[in-house]
Chains A and B, each alone.
Chain A
Amino acid sequence: MTSRRKSLNSGNPGAALVAAEAAFTRGLYAVAIFVVVLLTAILVTLLIGSRESLGTIGLGFLYGKTWDPVSSEFGALPFLVGTLLTSFLALGISLPFSIAIAVFLGEYFREGALSSFLRSAIDLLAGIPSVIYGFWGLFVLVPLVRSLQLKLGVPPFGVGILTSSLVLSIMIVPYSAALGREVIQLVPSDLKEAALSMGATRSEVIWKVVLPYARSGIFAGVLLSLGRALGETMAVTMVIGNSNFLPRGIFSPANTMASLIANEFAEATEPLYVSSLVEIGLLLFIVTTLVNIIGRQIIKRTAVEV
């Protein structure tokens, strides 16, 4: 029987289609793998660069409290502490503000001129070069902190952990606020309606329905801003005091890993000195990665299954 229908294979564009599809897929694979290769290459470079200090100083690098290039003594603890302290303090200071902004823009003022003005103002905060934050911190925050220190009777350095945390907290607000706003906007309105229909007030809906639902997304924003705070270099270096001793409190001048590298890399001549600075970089890399992995686990655990 001859069919009036054409064969499925007639004109056969099949082979070309399949080839194009395969090429496309291969292209995607290549790009994805390239990113991994890049990441590995950075890690390997850091490892090779810090070979000398890894071999000479060993694990003592991690808990050594002294950083003295003149006597070739290199310990990373002051900077590890300085980095974690400034970042988490900044996070603590910024969190109430960024959540408040996220709720305000995600729940109260979603539309209108005021809302879009505020949104772009906050996005603008993220776009300001960090050296400008450093300047502002130096001219405005340092005198403020100094007068606070005078009132409290502590040495009036002005610069130090608290000052850097304040600068950092302003710098990271846009990251957590923007993501927080987005996830708060995504909270299904039928859940809010259900709560309202039971006699909840608007603030009760926010505390008991919206924030619990959005918590994992809010945390993702916090993580993003923490990553930013850990690695921030310029603004911190300008207001932290660059003191290579273990900080004694939030008023004490200190130094962070990123800031130390930026300050000392150009003047490092001894191979062990250079290698130790690279190892500081490796440590920063590891800390950032660890924070990310832990954060991701928390996000996964707090995510709302629907």
Chain B
Amino acid sequence: MESEVLKVEKFGAYFGDTQILKYINLSIPENMVTAIMGPSGCGKTTLIRCVNRMHELITGARVEGRILLCGEDVYKTNPILVRRKVGMVFQKPNPFPTMSIYDNVIAGYKLNGIRLGRGELDRIVEESLQRAALWDEVKDSVHRKGTFLSGGQQQRLCIARALAMNPEVLLLDEPTSALDPKATSRIEELIIELKEYVTIVLVTHNIAQAARVSDLTAFLYLGELVEFGPSEKLFTVPEDKRTEEYLTGKFG
């Protein structure tokens, strides 16, 4: 495989005594879309929240093993620095309602107290919104509050906000689960376009979505990584029986 951006090694995660993830090994290559698929409660969201160390914010959370981001162990790095290098988009669009569209895009810089010149900020805002395919729709209203946008637009604003920090990896946690079909397909197209700039990890419970947008797919079941490989192969000739059963709708 090509150079890997993210490497998960012998990784386990817990809430108190409950084990959420069991001994996960995963290599995520650069500039590809990797889908993490599985039924509710299988630990897929926990897995990506371990990558940017959001998992540990909940009391009782604990992990074992390693996650390497560009070769560096994220659990030996300050979480603040890790999170600046890893963008995250959540299930429900969550732009900051107190900020304008412009300020939302550069929120990462503002929150971290990074000062940039006006020209530089303008460039980041335009470029990020363009990459998130939102620029044409909002370019005349970037200084208005983002709350008048539709759900799909708000989610693309959140993607722009994550892209503005120039992350190594973009984590998408079921980004279309709160959106209508039309907005969903816009986001899916966008995901495919974005892999030119950033490595994407997409959590989804939607099998069709994983098949449509991903290059690689990991199937997670009950905290275990059942199968991981090129999406075409996994969706056509799965190796594991559980994968096949999930794909054919026997459970999940």
Contact = CB atoms under 8 A, between A and B. Distances in A.
Interface of A: 188, 190-191, 193-201, 204-205, 208-209, 212-213, 304-306
Given A305-B145, A305-B147, A198 B112 contact: yes
Q: How large is the interface on B (under 10, 10 to 19, 20 to 34, 35 or more residues)?
A: 20 to 34
Nearest to A211: B98
Contact of B54 (A191, A197, A205, A213): A197
Contacts of A208: 110-111
A208 to B, nearest CB: 6
B237 to A, nearest CB: 36
Interface stretch (B78-86, B118-126, B217-225, B243-251): B78-86
Contacts of A199: 80-84, 108, 111-112, 165
Contacts of B108: 198-199
Contacts of A213: 96-98
Contacts of B87: 197-198
Given A196-B57, A198-B84, A199-B84, A190 B147 contact: no
Contacts of B112: 198-200, 204
A178 B161 CA distance: 34
A77 B84 CA distance: 58
Top 5 closest A-B pairs, CB basis? Answer: A199-B84, A200-B111, A212-B98, A199-B83, A197-B88
A190 B80 contact: no
Contacts, number: 74
Among B87, B110, B111, B145, find the residue whose CB has the most chain A CB atoms closer than 10 A. B111
A190 B90 contact: yes
Given A199-B112, A305-B147, A193 B97 contact: no
A200 B145 CA distance: 21
Nearest to B83: A199
Contact of A198 (B57, B145, B147, B165): B165
Nearest to A189: B94
B158 interface: yes
8 contacts: A190-B94, A191-B94, A191-B97, A194-B96, A198-B162, A199-B83, A204-B111, A204-B112
A213 B165 CA distance: 23
A305 B97 contact: yes
Nearest to A210: B98
A200 B96 CA distance: 14
Interface of B: 52, 54, 57, 80-84, 86-88, 90, 92, 94, 96-99, 107-108, 110-113, 145, 147, 158, 161-162, 165
A193 B94 CA distance: 9
B111 to A, nearest CB: 4
Contact of B96 (A191, A197, A201, A204): A191
A195 B54 contact: no
Contacts of A212: 98-99
Contacts of B147: 305-306
A222 to B, nearest CB: 18
B98 A304 contact: yes
Contact of B94 (A188, A201, A204, A205): A188
A148 B226 CA distance: 74
A109 to B, nearest CB: 12
A194 B157 CA distance: 12
B81 A198 contact: no
B66 to A, nearest CB: 21
A190 B158 contact: no
B113 A209 contact: no
Contacts of A198: 83-84, 87-88, 107-108, 111-112, 161-162, 165
B107 to A, nearest CB: 7
B96 to A, nearest CB: 6
A213 to B, nearest CB: 6
A198 B112 CA distance: 8
B145 A197 contact: no
A233 B94 CA distance: 47
A194 B158 contact: yes
A231 B113 CA distance: 43
A209 B94 CA distance: 12
A190 B98 CA distance: 14
A191 B111 CA distance: 12
A230 to B, nearest CB: 30
Given A188-B94, A212-B98, A305-B97, A197 B111 contact: no
Nearest to A197: B88
A126 B80 CA distance: 40
Given A197-B86, A209-B96, A305-B145, 20 more contacts: A191-B94, A191-B97, A194-B88, A194-B90, A194-B161, A195-B96, A196-B83, A197-B83, A197-B90, A198-B84, A198-B108, A198-B162, A199-B83, A199-B108, A199-B112, A199-B165, A200-B80, A200-B112, A204-B111, A213-B97
A193 B80 contact: no
A295 to B, nearest CB: 20
A304 to B, nearest CB: 5
B80 A201 contact: yes
Among A198, A205, A208, A306, find the residue whose CB has the most chain B CB atoms closer than 10 A. A198
